[in-house]
């Protein structure tokens, strides 16, 4: 029964993908310096699944609504939830984030400031970032216990992006603070990617090489102010691929491998996004 | 009365909107280095540029760059864009302009930005 529901959901997602149609970042954790175009709304589902030791398989999901307010300002809301086999399916909270372009012109390295408030609980498994001493063991705590932990947190990031001969290099420095208690936590995410073709073909095609972007992403925790060391921190690395199926629709996937003993050994990440151009104008019925 | 106001607004838009494109282009023309378009006159590149324009620019600048009636997204079918130095157009695509709500398209590979410029500079040809 559960398998047939999953198949139906997958078919619906693929159906949505082919109905509509901007090459997106192939990364799941690392942000590039790119902001949403003003007036555009992007709806994206980011998912991570894995099977931690001593626990059932889980799928953590984040539904993202990203809107370009200005050429220099993008705002986003995330709704998070997760399901764990043999446990329960729960809503885990929301995130509200803003990204600000810090320079008027493009440079070799482009900085963007990221500020987020999140109100989630300890059962959240969307894994949109890894900070401090987050480990695989956190993913194995039963939902009924994990959700008792409130995580009202302020998260700031400095995002850097550079471009060279079609390659994108992105680096993120993450600083997170639980507003109720707990020390400042630190993390990082880096990624490099490149489209498979740099020139566009004249004809419209779903499988053109220019529609595929591939790369590698790595992210992890850097400890916290009470224990600023790499011991007992998680670090993951994996290939990423993004397919711009059609105008506005992207599908991306990444297996992510843990490289320390406390990391989740394998996570499979997948996502689908749909961008609505000039959303506000369309709402007002002005095309 | 309503028709008259419409006429006045249209007349104002016809004067003001291209002027906005010109102000950004004028700024770019002053500071951007001259660059030759490697795809100039290449029909395949123009067609590819049209596809890229539709995907990345059309929602703001309108179909075939004719504009969409908003002051910050002016039509691009003007002689000013057609005759601009390719280096200035390349500068605008790379840097964008936060004050004009024009995003940076630095994330597009250089080749694709030149393909868009090839298409853009073909737009005003009928008007010449």
Predicted confidence at residue B32, as pLDDT, reads 81
Contacts of B114 (CB under 8 A, 6+ apart): B37, B38, B39, B45, B86, B90
Predicted confidence at residue A211, as pLDDT, reads 94
Show residues of chain A in contact with B45, CB under 8 Å. 199
Tokens linked to B123: 């737009």
Terminal alpha carbon distance of chain A? 42
Predicted confidence at residue A280, as pLDDT, reads 82
Binary contact (A38, B101; C-beta < 8 A): yes
Q: Which residues of chain A have pLDDT under 50?
A: 1-22
Would residue A95 be called left, alpha or beta, if left means φ above 0 and alpha means ψ between -120 and 50 degrees?
A: beta
Predicted confidence at residue B126, as pLDDT, reads 54
Binary contact (B109, A70; C-beta < 8 A): no
Binary contact (B107, A201; C-beta < 8 A): no
Domain A4-285, CATH among 2.40.160.40, 2.140.10.10, 3.60.110.10, 3.40.50.150: 2.40.160.40
Residues 26-65 of chain B whose Cβ lies under 8 A from any Cβ of chain A: 44-45, 47-52, 54-56, 59-60
For chain A, domain boundaries: 4-285
Binary contact (A71, B103; C-beta < 8 A): yes
Nearest-CB residue to A71 (from B47, B59, B102):
B102
User: Could you give the domains of chain B?
Assistant: 2-127 (1.10.760.10)
Nearest-CB residue to A247 (from B48, B49, B55):
B55
Show residues of chain A in contact with B117, CB under 8 Å. none
Q: Which residues of chain B have pLDDT under 50?
A: 9-10, 12-18, 128
Predicted confidence at residue A14, as pLDDT, reads 39
Predicted confidence at residue A281, as pLDDT, reads 81
Question: How high is the ipTM of this complex?
Answer: 0.82
Q: What is the pTM (predicted TM-score) of this model?
A: 0.86
Concatenated DSSP letters of chain B:
-HHHHHHHHHHHHHHHHHHHHHHHHHHHHHHSPP---TTTT-HHHHHHHHHHHHHHTHHHH-GGG---S-TTS--S-SHHHHTS-HHHHHHHHHH-BGGGTB---TTS-HHHHHHHHHHHHHHGGGG-
Binary contact (A71, B52; C-beta < 8 A): no
């Amino acid at each position: 029964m559960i398998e047939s529901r999953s198949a139906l959901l997958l078919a619906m997602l693929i159906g949505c993908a082919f109905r509509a149609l901007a090459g997106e970042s192939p990364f799941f954790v690392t942000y590039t310096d790119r902001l949403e175009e003003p007036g555009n709304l992007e709806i994206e589902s980011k998912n991570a699944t894995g099977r931690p030791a001593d626990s059932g398989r889980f799928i953590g999901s984040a539904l993202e609504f990203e809107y370009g307010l200005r050429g220099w300002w993008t705002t986003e809301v995330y709704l998070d939830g997760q399901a764990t086999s043999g446990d329960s399916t729960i809503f885990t909270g929301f995130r509200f984030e803003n990204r600000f372009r810090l320079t008027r012109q493009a440079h070799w390295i482009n900085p963007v400031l990221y500020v987020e408030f999140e109100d989630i609980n300890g059962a959240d498994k969307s894994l949109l970032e890894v900070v401090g001493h987050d480990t695989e063991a956190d993913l194995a705590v039963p939902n009924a216990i994990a959700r008792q932990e409130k995580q009202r947190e302020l998260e700031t990031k400095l995002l850097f992006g550079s471009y060279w001969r079609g390659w994108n290099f992105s680096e993120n420095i993450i600083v997170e603070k639980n507003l109720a208690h707990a020390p400042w936590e630190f993390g990082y995410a880096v990624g490099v990617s490149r489209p498979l073709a740099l020139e566009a073909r004249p004809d419209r095609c779903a499988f053109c090489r220019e529609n595929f972007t591939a790369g590698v992403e790595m992210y992890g925790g850097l400890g916290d102010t009470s224990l600023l060391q790499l011991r007992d921190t998680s670090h993951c690395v994996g290939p990423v691929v993004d397919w711009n199926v059609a105008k506005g629709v992207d599908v991306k996937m990444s297996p992510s491998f843990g490289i320390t003993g406390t990391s989740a050994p394998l996570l499979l990440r997948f996502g689908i996004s749909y961008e609505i151009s000039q959303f506000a104008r369309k709402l007002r019925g002005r095309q | 009365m309503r028709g008259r106001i419409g006429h006045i607004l249209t007349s104002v838009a016809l004067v003001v909107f291209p002027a906005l494109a010109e102000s950004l282009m004028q700024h770019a023309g002053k500071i951007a280095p001259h660059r030759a378009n490697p795809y100039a006159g290449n029909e395949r590149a123009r067609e590819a540029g049209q596809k890229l324009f539709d995907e990345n620019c059309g929602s703001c600048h309108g179909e075939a760059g004719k504009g969409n009636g908003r002051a910050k997204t002016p039509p691009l079918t003007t002689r000013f864009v057609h005759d601009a130095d390719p280096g200035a157009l390349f500068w605008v695509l790379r840097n964008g302009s936060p004050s004009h709500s024009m995003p940076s398209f630095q994330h597009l590979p250089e080749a694709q930005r030149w393909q868009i410029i090839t298409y853009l500079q073909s737009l005003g040809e009928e008007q010449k």
